């Protein structure tokens, strides 16, 4: 297969789906449907509405745990005014799914009902919980069936997590049809508790000319799906008010299938205060932030009024080794900054958390990402193989520090993700040399561009099979995944 040609074809398709579809549709269809340019205005998607708050999952406290119900089913939601509703797959009829918020030390007991036509699981992305509760592809919930997910949140687990399906071969479709929700674990000693919080769940939407969620094309399956729209809390390009001088704490989730988002807020003061697994040691001033698929960040944002600069959250151009992605700045969220008197905001604490670097590893392993475009059955590989449900790729031990070197010998970025724990990136190799990671952070996703490497350390505190995979969901489904069997 000629990859370069396919990518070019894919790029053209992605940039002008309506034009391609109108041209190829039958004459009766073409006569009925006007040729619609591929933008939100023509489709009727309405932007500039106030940012919706994610709904909360109702939880009831009894017998020392919080109890709730979660279901996955098809739901029709009005997306385009004056057109039939769009069918999503959703948790509790909501896109994004209902937010779950708990404190460290609390226990959760959820009844889950699968009302989808496919097997599914609920994976608690990033949480240090038992393997048999973590929605592994080995534990599918079949259509029409139910199960309980039960786990407790250990001390020092405060952070920004999410939940999404993880069945083998159907993850990408289930997520792009709308199945994803956020999960926040709070600390009772939170140094940023005084800041107003905003939650921004970034997801991808690709519609066909009928306003339906489009199936993945061959190019999507290869490059990772990027639709026409990035939604924030299920809304396209919504508005958020930020007072001049007001400092807010933003939690941002990249819940898209494949976009590596290079986020920026020109004109405003932005500090990185947290990563996937919670706060970092000290706030770090940032000009932009690379958030790969699956990853999260916490920012402290202070509104500055600057009439000359766009007031909004932008996705800057980023080339992830393929011919898709924004070629110019793309506004994700519009900010309303008042030009009047500045709001007084308390200073950011200089220390947020104490973190110790993980000690020297007892064990080192190598994880090599590669692509074989000549073999459609095994195109995306880890250490030369595709995922096998019945194979344990590595055997580890509870409490033992491991160091993994992720080596991307493929042609596009592959974001590495590990289940069951958080890791510390220690060094990155940019193709020329190794560079020490400039600060300590708990992460569960690290983006590795082609020709580059990353070294990370972790410890698994609970036994059981743990998945590791590329978080471009189409690559995961194609088998770019392995299993680490953690023995007690």
Which residue, 278 or 449, has its beta carbon nearer to Cu ion?
A: 449
Spatial separation of the C-alpha atoms in residues 95 and 182, rounded to whole Å: 11
Count of residues near Cu ion by CB under 5 A: 4
Question: How near is the Cβ of 226 to Cu ion at its closest, in Å?
Answer: 13
User: Binding string, 419-458, against Cu ion, x = CB under 5 A?
Assistant: ----------------------------------------
CB atoms within 10 A of CB 130: 14
Q: Does 198 engage in binding with Cu ion (CB under 5 A)?
A: no
Query: Taking the complex as a whole, how short is the minimal distance between the CB of residue 92 and Cu ion, in angstroms?
Result: 30
Task: Work out how close the CB of 143 gets to Cu ion at its nearest, in angstroms, rounded to a whole number.
Answer: 28
| Contacts of residue 80, Cβ cutoff 8 Å, sequence gap at least 6 | 43, 44, 45, 86, 211
Residue 90 or 412: the one with the smaller Cβ distance to Cu ion is: 412
Minimum gap (Å) between residue 471 Cβ and Cu ion: 7
CB of 414 to Cu ion, least distance (A): 4
CA atoms of 457 and 134, how far apart (whole Å): 21
Q: Which residues, 281 to 320, sit near Cu ion by CB under 5 A?
A: none
> 359 to 418, contacts with Cu ion by CB under 5 A?
414
Is residue 248 classed as helix, strand or coil in its secondary structure?
strand
Least separation in angstroms between CB 480 and Cu ion: 5
Residue closer to Cu ion, measured from CB, 108 or 260: 260
Distance CA 224, CA 208 (A): 17
HSE value, Cβ hemisphere, 13 Å, CA-based, for 288: 13
Nearest distance from C-beta of residue 223 to Cu ion, angstroms: 9
Q: Which is nearer to Cu ion, 181 or 482 (CB)?
A: 482
DSSP annotation of 175: H
Q: Which is nearer to Cu ion, 367 or 462 (CB)?
A: 367
Secondary structure class of 160 (helix, strand, coil)? strand
Cα–Cα distance, 108 to 68 (Å, whole number): 8
Nearer to Cu ion, 66 or 472 (CB): 472
- Closer of 164 and 414 to Cu ion (Cβ): 414
Q: Beginning with the edge strand found earlier in the chain, give each strand of the sheet holding 123-125 in spatial order.
A: 97-103, 181-186, 159-164, 123-125
- Name which of 249 and 262 has its Cβ closer to Cu ion: 262
Binding mask 459-488 for Cu ion (x = CB under 5 A): -----------x-x--x-------------
Burial 311-324 (b: 16+ CB within 10 A, else e): bbbbbbebebbbbb
**Contact (Cβ atoms closer than 8 angstroms) between residue 432 and residue 114:** no
Residues in region 88-127 near Cu ion by CB under 5 A: none
Which H/E stretch holds residue 73? strand 65-77
- CB of residue 292 to Cu ion, shortest distance in Å: 10
Which residue is listed with tokens 């020297």?
360
Positions in the binding site for Cu ion (CB under 5 A): 414, 470, 472, 475
């Amino acid at each position: 297969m000629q990859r370069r040609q396919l990518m070019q074809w894919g790029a053209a398709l992605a940039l002008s789906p309506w034009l391609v579809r109108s041209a190829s549709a039958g004459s009766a269809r073409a006569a009925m449907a006007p040729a619609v340019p591929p933008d939100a205005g023509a489709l009727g998607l309405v932007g500039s509405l106030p940012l919706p708050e994610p709904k909360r999952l109702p939880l009831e406290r009894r017998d020392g745990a919080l109890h709730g119900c979660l279901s996955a089913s098809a739901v029709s939601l009005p997306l385009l005014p004056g057109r039939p509703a769009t069918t999503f797959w959703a948790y509790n009829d909501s896109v994004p799914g209902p937010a779950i918020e708990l404190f460290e030390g609390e226990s959760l007991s959820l009844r889950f009902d699968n009302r989808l036509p496919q097997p599914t699981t609920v994976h608690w992305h990033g949480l240090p919980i038992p393997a048999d509760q973590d929605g592994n592809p080995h534990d599918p919930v079949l259509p029409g069936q139910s199960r309980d997910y039960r786990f407790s949140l250990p001390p020092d687990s405060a952070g920004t997590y999410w939940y999404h399906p993880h069945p083998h071969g159907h993850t990408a479709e289930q997520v792009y049809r709308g199945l994803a929700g956020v999960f926040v674990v709070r600390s009772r000693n939170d140094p940023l508790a005084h800041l107003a919080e905003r939650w921004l769940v970034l997801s991808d939407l690709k519609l066909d000319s009928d306003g339906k969620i489009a199936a993945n094309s061959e190019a999507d399956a290869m490059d990772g799906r990027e639709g026409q729209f990035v939604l924030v809390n299920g809304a396209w390009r919504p508005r958020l008010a930020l007072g001049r001088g007001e400092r807010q704490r933003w939690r941002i989730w990249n819940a898209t299938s494949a976009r590596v988002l290079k986020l920026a807020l020109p004109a405003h003061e932005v500090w990185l205060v947290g990563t996937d697994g919670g706060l970092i040691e000290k706030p770090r001033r940032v000009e932009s932030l690379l958030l790969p698929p699956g990853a999260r960040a916490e920012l402290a944002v202070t509104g500055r009024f600057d009439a000359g600069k766009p007031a909004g959250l932008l996705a800057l151009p980023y080339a992830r080794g393929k011919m898709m992605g924004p070629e110019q700045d793309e506004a994700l969220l519009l900010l309303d900054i008042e030009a009047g008197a500045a709001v007084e905001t308390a200073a950011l604490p200089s220390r947020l958390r104490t973190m110790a670097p993980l000690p020297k590893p007892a064990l080192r392993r190598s994880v090599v990402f590669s692509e074989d475009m000549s073999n459609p059955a095994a195109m995306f590989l880890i250490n030369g193989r595709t995922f096998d449900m019945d194979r344990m790729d590595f055997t580890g031990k509870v409490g033992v520090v491991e160091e993994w070197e992720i080596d991307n010998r493929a042609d596009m970025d592959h974001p590495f993700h590990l289940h069951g724990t958080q890791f510390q990136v220690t060094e990155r190799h940019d193709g020329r040399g190794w560079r020490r990671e400039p600060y300590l952070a708990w992460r569960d996703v690290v983006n590795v561009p082609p020709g580059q490497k990353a070294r990370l350390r972790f410890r698994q505190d609970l036994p059981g099979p743990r998945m590791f995979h590329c978080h471009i969901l189409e690559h995961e489904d194609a088998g770019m995944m392995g299993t680490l069997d953690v023995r007690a």
